[in-house]
């Protein structure tokens, strides 16, 4: 263990001890229960923040800074995939040309989800492959970028895949610097940083992520949980295809078990509704119930799903035909009886005719057809489990389709299968970040929505195959997007105290400060230490300032997963989208919060002057207000941002973005 790592772990231990001590004391001794409507939410928010800090500490505990990678296997075959939907043609071709120029032997493909003939012509004229969706995708779910890559996986053959977004221009040596990791036969993903060339030094939109593409990814890498981030990553085809087949088999098996379980309930209900005199229908339902049990036992023994369902469907169909045949015979008997009665009406007159009608109608109305309905339902349930997955364009989908962001879910599933990942911290591709507030908010919302969808659909804490540490690494990222709700509490607490004098803690005495201040100081020292020489303040600002986005992401993802509401996928525009005027309306909640903080500060000072407030409590909360305003103030800078101006170009690239390689920035985070 190096001295640097030892110091890092010492700071982690101190943060954990001080944080647990403070929050435990808060719950046991300092909650002002007389003001519980604000006191309880505040201590819950502090507990959330402690858990967030503990997850960060766990991440840093095994931070791994990889050294020089091994040389690649010269026999490796690689497909470089450039994904695109509607980005400008020159932007896509710039990336594709750079991809073609990669020094390691490979094939370059443009995955054109927009199916643009002009892009195909450009690609083919320069010897670059072009792939679009096959006709199988018509009138079926497209699954956005995940579907685009899944389609290409069946049209390419390389042992490894380098995935690039349309704006991520790779360096020639990107494969030489990453393929060596795959000498480990269990390595599935090697992720490199995403760095943006059109971002000014003050980064007004918080586009660069020096903390994530640095200490956090390195920390996750130490736990074999480095994330696939959708672009600038190399993946092993074998791992993806194994994942696709595994998911296919698992989903089919789950669907069959669900269908058989529901079928059992349907048969039980139909059996209960039968009368004791309907022996034939009872016998038919009993036969199907027996075959149902046999099918479930065969699945438990590992018999092939297709064989089990095929035999069961044939057996149910045979029993249904027997039942229908018997019912038809009974119907013919009824009709014959009616005919005999009708023959007597000539002699019986009106009374006989009435008797015939009443008797026939009574027999027909009293006949119970539910056994046939039950069998038809069972047939429909089992046959709906289509092993060919006709509702999808292709049965095997290696890239996860459960979220609008496919990368995290795919990587988590690979880890659950026992595959490894690595983070190589060298900047080997250079992309374009959003250049206006609206585009940035669209991007951040999509990221957060996708993460929440994964949490709701495949919570890492219950996924088999993941280690405890891997579960917590994935949970840490998901947990961070819950901060929007707690940000509201942190903003409301000083406002409530300064205006109403309601203190959420029992007192602001020495017991409070002697526990809180050391925890905050050491926590910040840890953060500064792991982020040394990295500009992390902007990221901290946006983690709080985008609280409305995080809340919307949570609620919309919840509605998508549990309520069936549509969640549109929006490709992040690569050109400026705003018109004239400043888009202040996009940050209205933040502006309202800032106004409320300023007003509360004024009221607090007045209350202090007239003797209605504690000096200590007032100044503590005023300091809190100042901090909140400094954090939220970033949205004002974002609204006023007019886009990046290339130092070598007099005007910003509004119409056509330009890539500019910054080779001198390698190694910076």
Using alpha carbons, select from 165, 158, 100 the residue that is nearest to residue 129. Answer: 100
Write the DSSP symbol of residue 205. Answer: T
To the nearest 10°, report the CA torsion of 269, 271, 277, 282: 150
How far out from the chain centre does Cα 362 lie? 59
What value, to the nearest 5°, has the Cα angle with vertex 132 and ends 557 and 568? 15
Residue 116 in this model has a pLDDT that exceeds 60: yes
pLDDT of residue 375: 74
Contact yes or no for 432/657 (Cβ under 8 A): yes
**Locus of tokens 């901090």:** 627
State the sign of the Cα–Cα–Cα–Cα dihedral 284, 289, 290, 294.
Answer: positive
Residue 658 in this model has a pLDDT that exceeds 60: no
The three-class DSSP label of residue 558 is helix
pLDDT band, residue 498 (cuts 50/70/90): very high
pLDDT of residue 339: 58
pLDDT band, residue 239 (cuts 50/70/90): very high
Q: What are the b/e assignments for 339-350, b being 16+ CB within 10 Å?
A: eebeeebeeeee
Give the strands of the sheet with 429-431, arranged side by side: 169-170, 429-431, 195-196
Using alpha carbons, select from 408, 427, 424 the residue that is nearest to residue 416. Answer: 408
pLDDT of residue 286: 86
Residue 531 in this model has a pLDDT that exceeds 50: yes
Q: What is the mean pLDDT of residues 186-209?
A: 96
How far out from the chain centre does Cα 312 lie? 37
d(CA 229, CA 458) in angstroms, rounded, equals 18
- Residue 194, token pair as written in the block: 């995403």
d(CA 107, CA 99) in angstroms, rounded, equals 9
To the nearest 10°, report the CA torsion of 385, 562, 553, 210: -50
Q: What is the mean pLDDT of residues 508-516?
A: 92
Give the residues across from 195 on adjacent strands. Answer: 430
The answer for residues whose C-beta is within 8 angstroms of residue 256's C-beta and 6 or more apart is 299, 305, 308, 309, 382, 385
Q: 23-78 pLDDT, tens per residue?
A: 999 999 999 999 999 999 999 999 999 999 999 999 999 999 998 999 999 999 99
Contact yes or no for 496/32 (Cβ under 8 A): no
Write phi, then psi, for 578 (nearest 5 degrees): -85, 150
pLDDT of residue 663: 35
Pairing of strands 233-236, 160-165: antiparallel
What is the DSSP track for 298-361?
Answer: HHHTT--HHHHHHHHHHHHHHHHHHHHHHHHHHHHHHHHHHHHHHHHHHHHHHHHHHHHHHHHH
Using alpha carbons, select from 422, 411, 402, 406 the residue that is nearest to residue 466. Answer: 411
Please indicate whether residue 372 or residue 542 has the higher confidence score (pLDDT): 542
pLDDT band, residue 387 (cuts 50/70/90): low
The answer for residues whose C-beta is within 8 angstroms of residue 572's C-beta and 6 or more apart is 434, 439, 442, 443, 446
Q: 314-363 pLDDT, tens per residue?
A: 888 888 787 777 655 555 555 555 455 455 445 444 444 334 344 443 44
Report in angstroms the alpha-carbon separations of 116 from 23, 111, 127, 258, 499. 57, 11, 17, 42, 60
How far out from the chain centre does Cα 316 lie? 40
Among 9-13, 183-187, 383-387, 644-648, whose mean pLDDT is lowest? 383-387
pLDDT of residue 233: 98
d(CA 144, CA 405) in angstroms, rounded, equals 9
Write the DSSP symbol of residue 505. Answer: B
What is the DSSP track for 466-492?
Answer: --HHHHHHHHHHHHHTTHHHHHHHHHH
If one counts every other C-beta atom within 10 angstroms of the C-beta of residue 81, the result is: 24
pLDDT of residue 312: 84
Please indicate whether residue 359 or residue 195 has the higher confidence score (pLDDT): 195
pLDDT of residue 176: 98
If one counts every other C-beta atom within 10 angstroms of the C-beta of residue 94, the result is: 17
pLDDT of residue 127: 96
Pairing of strands 169-170, 233-236: unpaired
Contact yes or no for 481/448 (Cβ under 8 A): yes
Residue 659 in this model has a pLDDT that exceeds 50: no
The three-class DSSP label of residue 119 is helix
Q: 143-166 pLDDT, tens per residue?
A: 999 999 999 999 999 999 999 999
Write the DSSP symbol of residue 584. Answer: G
d(CA 213, CA 428) in angstroms, rounded, equals 13
d(CA 245, CA 395) in angstroms, rounded, equals 9
């Amino acid at each position: 263990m190096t001295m640097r790592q030892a110091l890092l772990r010492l700071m982690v231990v101190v943060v954990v001890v001080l944080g647990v001590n403070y929050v435990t004391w808060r719950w046991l001794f300092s909650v002002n229960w007389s003001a519980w409507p604000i006191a309880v939410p505040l201590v819950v928010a502090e507990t959330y923040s402690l858990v967030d800090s503990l997850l960060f500490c766990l991440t840093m505990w095994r931070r791994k800074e990889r050294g020089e990678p091994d040389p690649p296997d010269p026999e490796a075959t690689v497909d470089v995939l450039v994904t695109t939907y509607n980005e400008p043609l020159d932007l896509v071709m710039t990336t594709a040309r750079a991809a073609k120029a990669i020094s390691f032997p490979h094939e370059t493909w443009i995955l054109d989800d927009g199916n643009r003939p002009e892009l195909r012509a450009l690609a083919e004229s320069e010897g670059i492959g072009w792939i679009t969706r096959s006709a199988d995708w018509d009138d079926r779910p497209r699954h956005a970028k995940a579907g685009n890559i899944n389609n290409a996986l069946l049209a390419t053959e390389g042992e490894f895949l380098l995935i690039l977004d349309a704006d991520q221009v790779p360096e020639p040596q990107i494969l030489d610097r990453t393929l060596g990791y795959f000498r480990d036969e269990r390595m599935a993903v090697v992720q490199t940083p995403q760095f943006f060339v059109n971002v000014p030094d003050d980064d007004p939109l918080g586009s660069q992520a020096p903390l994530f593409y640095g200490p956090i990814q390195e920390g996750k890498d130490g736990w074999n949980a480095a994330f696939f981030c959708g672009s600038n990553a190399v993946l092993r085809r074998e791992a993806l295809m194994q994942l696709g087949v595994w998911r296919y088999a698992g989903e089919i098996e789950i669907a069959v078990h669900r269908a058989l379980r529901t079928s059992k309930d349907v048969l039980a209900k139909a059996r209960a509704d039968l009368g004791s005199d309907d022996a034939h229908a009872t016998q038919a339902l009993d036969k199907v119930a027996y075959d149902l049990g046999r099918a479930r036992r065969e699945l438990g023994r590992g018999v092939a799903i297709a064989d089990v369902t095929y035999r069961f469907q044939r057996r149910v169909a045979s029993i249904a035909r027997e039942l229908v045949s018997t019912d038809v015979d009974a119907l013919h008997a009824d009709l014959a009886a009616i005919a005999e009665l009708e023959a007597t009406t000539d002699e019986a007159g009106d009374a006989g005719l009435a008797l015939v009608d009443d008797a026939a109608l009574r027999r027909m109305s009293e006949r119970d057809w539910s056994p046939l309905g039950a069998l038809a339902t069972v047939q429909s349930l089992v046959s709906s489990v289509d092993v060919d997955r006709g509702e999808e364009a292709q049965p095997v989908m290696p890239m996860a389709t459960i979220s609008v962001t496919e990368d995290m879910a795919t990587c988590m599933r690979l880890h659950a299968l026992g595959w490894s990942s690595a983070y190589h911290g060298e900047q080997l591709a250079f992309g374009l970040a959003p250049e206006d507030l609206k585009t940035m908010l669209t991007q951040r919302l999509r990221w957060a929505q996708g993460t929440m969808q994964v949490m709701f659909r495949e919570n890492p804490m219950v996924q088999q195959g993941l280690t405890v540490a891997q579960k917590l690494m994935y949970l840490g990222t998901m947990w961070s997007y819950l901060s929007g709700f707690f940000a509201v509490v942190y903003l409301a607490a000083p406002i409530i105290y300064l205006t109403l004098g309601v203190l959420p803690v029992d007192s602001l005495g020495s017991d409070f400060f002697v526990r809180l201040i050391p925890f905050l100081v050491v926590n910040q020292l840890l953060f500064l230490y792991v982020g040394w020489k990295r500009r992390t303040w902007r990221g901290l600002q946006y983690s709080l300032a985008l609280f409305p986005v995080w809340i919307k992401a949570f609620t919309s993802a919840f509605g998508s997963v549990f309520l069936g509401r549509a969640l549109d996928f929006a490709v992040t525009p690569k050109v400026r989208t705003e018109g004239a005027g400043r888009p202040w309306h996009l940050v209205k909640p933040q502006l309202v919060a800032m106004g409320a903080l300023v007003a509360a500060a004024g009221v607090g000072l007045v209350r202090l002057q007239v003797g209605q407030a504690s000096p200590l409590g007032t100044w503590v909360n005023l300091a809190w207000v100042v901090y909140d305003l400094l954090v939220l103030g970033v949205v004002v800078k974002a609204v006023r941002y007019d886009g990046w101006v290339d130092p070598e170009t007099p005007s910003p690239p509004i119409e056509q973005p330009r890539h500019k390689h910054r080779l001198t920035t390698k190694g910076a985070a």
